Amino acid sequence: MTTSRAPAIRPPASSEKALQWGSFAAVITIVTIVTFLLMREKSSAENAAVTAANNIVQLIDTDVLRNARLYDQALQGMIDAIENPALNDLPNALQRRLLFDRAITAPLLGDLLWIDEQGRIVADSIVTPPRQASFTTWQSFISLKAQDQGLVISKPFMDSLGGLGWCISFSRRISGPGGEFRGMATGALRLSYFDELFNRLRIGQDSNVSLISDSGILLARQTESPGQPSIGRDFSQTPNFQRMVRESSGHFAEISALTGKTRLYTFTKVGDLPLIVVVALSTDAVYASWWRTAMLVSVATGLLCIGILWLSRLLGRELRLRRGAEQSLAALAATDSLTGLANRRRLDLTLSNEWARAQREGKPLAVLMIDVDHFKAFNERHGHAGGDQVLRDVARTIEQSIRRPGDLAARYGGEEFLVVLPATDLNGALIIAETIRHGVEALPPFAGDTRPTTVSIGVSAHPVVSGFTPQMLMSAADQALYRAKSEGRNRVGFDEPGR
């Protein structure tokens, strides 16, 4: 159903769109900048943690490497003495001094042993005569017996000779003149040494520092997780350890295979030794300060963005109200106050626009000129209030009889109405005219009046061709209306093209 009471609602004005897009752009820009700054601060927090962890790693690396080299020097000194042919000619005290001279002068944290090819202890840095034990089943003994592998570091073991507790051993092969296996020189290092070293370091809550062999065996770790003894645990198959072996040194953040929590790992290989130092920092501790800052900044940014959008919405509402008021004024200026149909001003504008469109598209244009029959007599019987009510009823009937959005019903003046029907030929216009006529005739009598309300209609429908004007179309409809009234009223007269 068409409506002729007001102009169509226009889309939001460009100023309101600009306000909406501007506020969204401002919010997106603020969020982007704040996100960038927060991520930069997070990266800075991570870099600071990595720098601190690197310092710890380098400190441990230097200390472990120093002690490992002291052990290696002691082992090399033993081997040099053993391979010296004059060793057997010296008294036992001098033999022992020559064998363990470097061990005596070095601050060793365990013991040194000379093991012969049968796995028996030949010389002992702790006691004389040497303690008795067999090393034939030791993995280090078996490996060095098979071939010279340089310095071999064992898996952690519980010392059963001197009560040293958990230890690791450093071992080297002793070869004869022909390269045959003559035994091995070995030294035990108490793992409690690393615990004491690590305990002096402050690495933060829920974080730890570890020493791992390059085969993935955990040698020392502080702090230990409650109820999870981990010394001797094999991490060789974990992705984190495999990455450390591939990269030798660096840092990365990953989930710990031991605790299941995310850790920031900083690691390095200890010189040319088969050892890796790892500092695992809790990401919760690393980012704790950053999280507090991020939450505060995020809340403040969120409130700011909400404020911007809220103010933008308020301003947009004011713009819509203003635009609505302008449209209401425009509608009032284009609407007949009595009937609610378009007034004469809007009729003239619509007729001009539809005429131009019909010329462009080559389609016909039709108009209906409608007059209420015997209206003056009706006014005399019922007064102006009754006449006004009848005009409103007729206007409503006309409006309900036209269906298309482009059709327009207007009050032409007094008791006359006019309907503009774009792209409508004579037959279509006559159908609509008859619909209007029957609709008005079916209206209930006003205030018991015995005479029904009727209208006479003049129809004019013409193709818009050169030389034909809107005034000529209106004049033809007016003449058709005159014929309808002269032929008895309550009927439809029409003007045929070329008539």
Q: Which of 148, 166, 169 is nearest to 157 (CA)?
A: 166
Contacts of 164 (CB under 8 A, 6+ apart): 110, 111, 188, 190
| Mean pLDDT taken over the chain | 84
CA–CA dist 220, 136 (Å, integer): 26
User: Which is more confident, 373 or 274?
Assistant: 373
CA–CA dist 225, 256 (Å, integer): 12
| The length of the chain, given as a count of residues | 499
Q: What is the token pair recorded at 136?
A: 């034939």
3-state secondary structure of 235: coil
Most confident of 2-6, 196-200, 232-236: 232-236
pLDDT above 90 covers a percentage of the chain that reads: 32
CA–CA dist 365, 359 (Å, integer): 9
CB neighbours (10 Å) of residue 137? 8
Q: What is the pLDDT of residue 315?
A: 85
**pLDDT range class, residue 107, cuts 50, 70, 90:** low
Taking a C-beta distance cutoff of 8 angstroms, is the pair 474, 437 a contact?
no
pLDDT single digits (tens) 341-371: 988 888 888 999 999 999 888 889 999 999 9
Taking a C-beta distance cutoff of 8 angstroms, is the pair 481, 493 a contact?
yes
- DSSP codes joined into one string, 5-72: SSPPPPPPPHHHHHHHHHHHHHHHHHHHHHHHHHHHHHHHHHHHHHHHHHHHHHHHHHHHHHHHHHHH
pTM over 0.85: no
Q: What is the pLDDT of residue 103?
A: 58
User: Which is more confident, 357 or 317?
Assistant: 357
Segment 422-432 mean pLDDT: 93
**pLDDT range class, residue 220, cuts 50, 70, 90:** confident
Q: Which of 241, 245, 236 is nearest to 269 (CA)?
A: 245
Position 459 pLDDT exceeds 90: yes
Q: What is the pLDDT of residue 102?
A: 61
Q: What is the pLDDT of residue 482?
A: 94
Q: What is the pLDDT of residue 8?
A: 45
Q: Which of 214, 264, 220 is nearest to 241 (CA)?
A: 214
Contacts of 194 (CB under 8 A, 6+ apart): 64, 211, 219, 220, 222
CA–CA dist 6, 331 (Å, integer): 5
Position 409 pLDDT exceeds 90: yes
Q: Which of 270, 271, 170 is nearest to 212 (CA)?
A: 270
Taking a C-beta distance cutoff of 8 angstroms, is the pair 30, 431 a contact?
no
Number of H helices, E strands in the chain: 12, 16
Segment 372-377 mean pLDDT: 91
pLDDT single digits (tens) 379-391: 888 888 888 999 9
